[in-house]
Structures are given as structure tokens and as C-alpha cells.
Amino acid sequence: MRSYETVVVLDAGLEEEPTQQEVNTIEQIITSHNGEMIDTERWGSRKLSYEINDKRQGYYALFRFNSEPNVLEELDRAFKLNGHVLRHIVKLVKQHAVSSPAEGNT
């Protein structure tokens, strides 16, 4: 298994519940293809640097996971078919750097 990070920018015009459903759907795609979710960071709504599909705001989420490379094809396909996904990027990482709460207290 390889380690990946994916940042997804969703349409910020969605209500709270549909946004959470989109995030959960992405997690389900990863786990249904034998991937292992490490962490999901919901960065929330932020102003975009430039307009994307006439949108000025985007909801950002970072997904850290381990999986086989075939999951990336399914994620890419799902992102392209989903009208709520404005942008996405998948990055192969050497090792996940997830800080624990104990590390921040030193």
C-alpha cells in the first residue's frame, strides 16, 4: 500500500449536511476499494484565489489515506462526475505526518 494525500475543493454554496455527505462519500470510495483512512481534515469554507465555475468560495478538505494505486482512478472518475467538486489534487507522500495531541504540548 502507498500513502496519499488528497485535497478537494467543494462548492461552498452547499448546506452543512450535503457538504458532510460529500466528504463521507469520498471516504467511502477509499475504504470500499480496500483503502485505509488515516485522517480527514475539514478546513472549511475559504475564499478562492480566482473564480472557478463562477464561484468565489470553496469548502476545502484534506484526506490522508493508504491504498493501492487503482483507488486513484476511481477517485478521479468520481471527482470528475461530481458537479460539487470544483478542484482536486492527489499527492503521493513518503509517510503521513499526523501529529498527535501529545506532540503539540512540548
CATH code of domain 2-94: 3.30.70.60
Give the span between the Cα atoms of 79 and 71, in whole angstroms. Answer: 12
Closest CA relative to residue 78, chosen from 68, 88, 69: 88
105, pLDDT greater than 50: no
Which residues lie below 8 Å from residue 71, measured CB to CB, with a gap of 6+? 29, 30, 33, 34, 35
The pLDDT score that the predictor gives to residue 102 is 46
Closest CA relative to residue 38, chosen from 60, 63, 15: 63
103, pLDDT greater than 50: no
The pLDDT tens digits of the residues spanning 62-95 come to: 999 999 998 999 999 999 999 999 999 999 988 7
Rounded to two decimals, what is the model's pTM?
Answer: 0.82
Give the span between the Cα atoms of 73 and 7, in whole angstroms. Answer: 15
User: In this structure, which long-range contacts are made by residues 19-23, counting pairs with CB atoms below 8 Å and at least 24 apart in sequence?
Assistant: 19/59, 22/82, 22/84, 22/85, 23/61
- More confident: 44 or 98: 44
Give the span between the Cα atoms of 43 and 46, in whole angstroms. Answer: 8
